[in-house]
Structure 1
Amino acid sequence: MPTPLSVERVFEQVGASLTAFGHRCSYSKVPWGRGAVKVFLNLLTARFERADIYHITGDVQYMALRLPPERTILTIHDTGILKKRWGLRRAVIKKLYYDLPVRRMRYITVISEATKRELVELTGCDPQKVLVIENPLREIFIASSKRTFREKPVILQVGTGSNKNLKNVIQAVNGLQCKLRIIGLLTSEHTRLLTLSNTEYSSASELSEEEMRAEYEDADIIAFCSTYEGFGLPIIEGQGMLTPVITSDLSPMKEVAGSGAALADPRDPMSIRRAIEKVAGDSPYRQELVKKGTENIRRFSAELIARQYEELYERVIKENEGLNDRS
């Protein structure tokens, strides 16, 4: 039951691979969407068809309270929502989205070792029941060629949320001969900083997958210097599109990137600037990043990730058969 669009697309890719392996996959969404009241309406009114395995893949972890724990897998992407909430509201979200579902579930997957560490620390759960299965790279973001690098490079910034660190990227490119292309809605503060920096820029939001692919194709450099992620899909998407990537020297971004990205301290605009200058000014270095990036994405193939889920599904089914035999 995926919910956010990016998550839907990731698990549609996994589902397509599982279907190719001979499994039947179906998808459902919660009926009432998001919001405090809607959470309880979803818990009260959601209906599910009979299945051997239920897999909660979106940010509706609380639905674990409605599904059979012996046949349900819960995937948790991050705990970022708790960094934006305080007081009673945070306590309720923590209980409904993390504590109670994690306590009830026997099978939990996360998308990075960093998220596993956060979840274990947050809930006190047994680390042994949390399995890391990373996100796959969708086929639409795999290119076979790339155009020539521009003298005045286009730097693609993916995301404008506070964790995406656009303010520091704006400071980093101040005075550089480049164009900043921003994907996401700009705040008035972003616009003010861009105007003060005299940086050439443009922005777009609510793009389709095809439009996002075109952005990666047009970019000379990907800037993804986030301060917090559960995984960091733009890293492997940029690598798949044969574009040099600059990302954070924080977990999980540095692990996701492997050796196929330039790393920078996201809290230090000068560190980001030095990485941009290195990538823009050193052609052999750029080529090496792209080469290592194409090697790195092999471990994120949809088929490989789907096989990991298939192994988990089969394990769950066998364990349930064993329980039925003993009962």
Structure 2
Amino acid sequence: MSEPVYHVPVLLQEVIDGLSIRPDGVYVDCTFGGGGHSLEILKLLNAEGRMVVFDQDADARKNVPDDDRIIFVPHNFRHLQRFCRLHKITQVNGILADLGVSSHQFDTADRGFSTRFEGDLDMRMDQRQELTAFEVVNTYDEQQLHKLFEQYGEVTNSKTLARTIVQVRKTVSLKTISNFKQALHAVVKGNPNKYFAQVFQALRIEVNDELGALKEMLQQVPPLLKPAGRVAIITFHSLEDRIVKNFFRKGNFEEEEVDVDPFGTKTSTPPLKAITKKPIVPTEAEMKRNPRARSARLRVAEKVEGN
């Protein structure tokens, strides 16, 4: 029986095209995973080219090729600038991030990411950290749970769900995925698979502080990019996509324009210029080959000269 594929890179050619690879360039892959995007970039680099690849999941390290041009950083991409500087890299030609969960993480039962398998309610991408999904559902108060299910999972009855969790955890252990799903089956709205997918998404985002890490990383992109350098970000849900879209357009995370004078004129130039007016989505052929690509959205931006 063949080994399962660690992770199928989504929008691979679109990312390569978007980054406009220079053979002698320096590139950062913030989410190395199975290495699909990085290995494709490496093929286009000459002996002078370099890659810095980040992944906080220890399992990703075994996918790193034996290549002098590549540096592996076993940490979260929120520390982007710090580790680039540590390796004497002050500016780069391109930055890539493929957000979300790898197929390997989803398909490894004991990681607790998937509703399909039995295992502990874990969901840590970095297994060195202490906070797990079980800790969240076992210790957060009703208001905290309500807020995270509503904001991060867009769960329709998030208030009822939060109240039920606080009640049932007094008498029932929520430590495993089956415990958790069985204890909450009475409050499930609509399709149970879709419902728990939204609940698990919310817990995963909270456990890994995914939106906080994304914002921190994006703020480090403009000073790290060379003029005309590019950044390509693949998102998998609207929360991430909105953050990336706003940052590419305005250089901040606000929904409203903030740097305008009383006449509505912009008073500052954002450091990045969006190359993609609308996000690039997978083709029908790619979605057929890789159903997990269905919700992927790619946005590309370029460093503005003088910023």
Q: TM-score range by the shorter chain?
A: 0.3 to 0.5
Name the structure where helix makes up a greater proportion of residues: 1
- TM-score with structure 2 setting the length: 0.32
- TM-score with structure 1 setting the length: 0.31
